Amino acid sequence: MTYTTTAKAVRGGLLAAAALLVACAAPAGATVKSPGDWLYLTVVRGDARSHETRGTLLLCDPPQGHARAAEACAELDATGGDLRALPLRDAFCPMVHAPVTAHARGEWHGRPVDYTETFSNACVMTARTGPVFALDD
């Protein structure tokens, strides 16, 4: 329970900070432009007893904030921001249970995105999501 509350608070704080930066960067009297396509991505390795969380803000206009931002943005563009429609890659993954939960929250082409999926291990997640959740690179 503590993790959920902490993660939501961190995500909310990061989103508020990003919005504040965009608002403060505009000169007085100017219209504030939306930051474009963006997703706050997190990967949680482990279960409720023990876990490790990594996260980053992926911006796609221009691609930045992620080790493989250009690839991730291109794949998301191809699916219209639908993470469930990302192409499945050929992979030989071990049958090891090491749960990994991928979460994305943000905005794509003006539509809100909220995606969460738990995979049996990191190899399966990579085969399913490609560069989007490749936060360890």
Q: Write phi, then psi, for 56 (nearest 5 degrees).
A: -160, 160
Do the domain assignments include residue 134? no
CATH of the domain at 56: 3.30.350.10
Question: What pLDDT digit, counting tens, does each position of 70-97 carry?
Answer: 999 999 999 999 999 999 999 999 999 9
Question: What pLDDT digit, counting tens, does each position of 19-65 carry?
Answer: 444 444 444 444 334 567 899 999 999 876 778 899 999 999 899 99
Do the domain assignments include residue 135? no
The owner of tokens 């329970």 is 1
pLDDT recorded at residue 19: 46
Q: What is the pTM of this model?
A: 0.72
pLDDT recorded at residue 130: 94
Do the domain assignments include residue 137? no
In the predicted model, is pLDDT for residue 68 greater than 90? yes
Total tally of structural domains belonging to the chain:
1
The one-letter amino acid code at 90 reads D
